[in-house]
Amino acid sequence: AVERTLSIIKPDAVAKNVIGQIYARFEAAGLKIVAARMTHLSRLEAENFYAVHRQRPFFNDLVEFMISGPVMIQVLEGENAIAKNRELMGATDPQKADKGTIRADFAESIDANAVHGSDAPETAAVEIACFFPSLNIYSR
Ligand code: CMP
């Protein structure tokens, strides 16, 4: 089915100047960028976005990292967009990510891991709504 997923290019990858290289991978895989916005997240925005991880030991480091610089946020649309984007990203820990994936090629550590992608249709809907009102998604 045609799905939408939320993608974030994290501060490490923005600082490395590889937004275009990552976008090219989305496009080559048939994912269409239907909304996009660069922003520097506030602490509250980062905490709300990652609210499901609030009890995890890595929560504070994750929030600190996500507010350490600007991020590029986009909605990707396409057949099986959620799984396709996760394949392109590779494993959360770049050391474990398959060769040729975004995290293997651009990420340094499990915190500075270059990209985020929604993990399921329900979370994708919540995450997209976090950043894009539906009138700012340009599907056609
Ligand atoms: P992301 O897909 O953005 O979702 C939560 C983030 O927490 C994850 O990528 C990692 O960057 C970060 N993180 C740090 N430590 C861990 C961990 N042990 N397990 C999962 N995610 C972690």
Please give the C-alpha separations between residue 15 and each of 35, 72, 127, 137, in angstroms, as whole numbers.
21, 11, 23, 26
> What pLDDT tens digit does each residue of the chain (140 aa) get?
999 999 999 999 999 999 999 999 999 999 999 999 999 999 999 999 999 999 999 999 999 999 999 999 999 999 999 999 999 999 999 999 999 999 999 999 999 999 999 999 999 999 999 999 999 999 97
Q: Is 39 annotated as a binding residue?
A: no
62 lines ligand 1 (CB under 6 A): yes
The active-site residue out of 35, 97, 116, 127 is 116
DSSP symbols for 83-125: HHHHHHH--SSGGGSPTTSHHHHH--SSSS-SEEE--SHHHHH
Q: Is 103 annotated as a binding residue?
A: yes
Active site residue 116: yes
Residues paired with residue 36 on neighbouring β-strands, in sequence order: 74
ipTM of the complex: 0.96
What is the reported pLDDT for 140? 73
Question: Cα separation of 86 and 63, whole Å?
Answer: 21
